[in-house]
Amino acid sequence: MRKIFNAIVLHLAKAIFSPAAPAVPVPSPLRYLVSQRRIFDLVSLVMQVRWLGGVRQLATAEPGSDPHLAAVHNYNAGVTAGKIITSTRRPETIYRIAGLLARPLGRDRLLIVGPRNVQELLVAWIHGFAWRNVEAIDLYSTHPRIRTMDMHRLEYPDGSFGVVTMVNTLGYASDIPAVVAGVARILSPGGRFCFSHAHVPQSDTFAGDLVPIKTVLNACRQAGLRTYFHQIEDKTNSRGLRQLSHYVGVEKATEATIS
């Protein structure tokens, strides 16, 4: 309990004295207001504390019998439980890519893959998605809108979503082409898959980190997804390793294009 109390106090202090800056502009007066540095941090804090029970239960969550999924589950659950309160706004870059759509995002049904907690759902909302249209999946659930599901086996009908997002989630896949094909299947015609992929050539954690972006983009093409945005950031990660962070938007062909 003391660890949780300290984390809440620390986040409250950061929200007041050193709030995280928004990565991009956001639509509508209310969303703009909530996106402002101190307000966003305070709203996020309230939402995360409201659902803190889900985070606290991660210590007893069952990782499943698949060795790879169990390793991914345990790693990410450990990160989520260790941080307790999330403050980063890095996912906003992906929602800016989604915002390049030529139609209002509020009409699209969104699937977030691997958000860890409710923070990213709030980010999606401030960037224009209607709250009722925001759904999420992960290997564990810390919020009612986050379903427990394996991204290799998406349990949705064909054409269910207008947008699917993944923030540094593909690297946890054991079969990236299969995951991309599954995303393409559940996208509606004209739907977009917006994601970031961290290629770490010297990684010794998950095999997906070693997969170059060329392989990922080829899997997108094979699945019928056209690249409309690609930006690269070359940096040194927290482990001191070179990391090529790719920010990508791909689009599924419309019915008119198919015909």
Domain ends where: 83, 101, 116?
83
Q: What is the pTM of this model?
A: 0.91
Q: Which of 214, 69, 212 is nearest to 150 (CA)?
A: 69
For residues 65 and 106, membership in a common domain is answered with no
Domain ends where: 64, 83, 102?
83
Q: Which of 45, 54, 62 is nearest to 10 (CA)?
A: 45
For residues 96 and 47, membership in a common domain is answered with no
CA pair distance 63, 139, nearest whole angstrom: 8
DSSP helix, strand, coil percent of the chain (3-state; round to 5) = 45, 20, 35
52 in Cβ contact with 67 (< 8 Å) = no
For residues 26 and 152, membership in a common domain is answered with no
pLDDT tens digit at each of 259 positions of the chain:
788 888 888 888 888 888 877 766 667 889 999 999 999 999 999 999 999 999 988 878 888 889 999 999 999 999 999 999 998 899 999 999 999 876 788 899 999 999 999 999 999 999 999 999 999 999 999 999 999 999 999 999 999 999 999 999 999 999 999 999 999 999 999 999 999 999 999 988 899 999 999 999 999 999 999 999 999 999 998 889 899 999 999 999 986 555 4
Domain ends where: 83, 100, 123?
83
The total number of structural domains in the chain stands at: 2
Instruction: Tell me the one-letter amino acid at 9.
Output: V
What is the residue range of 49's domain?
2-83
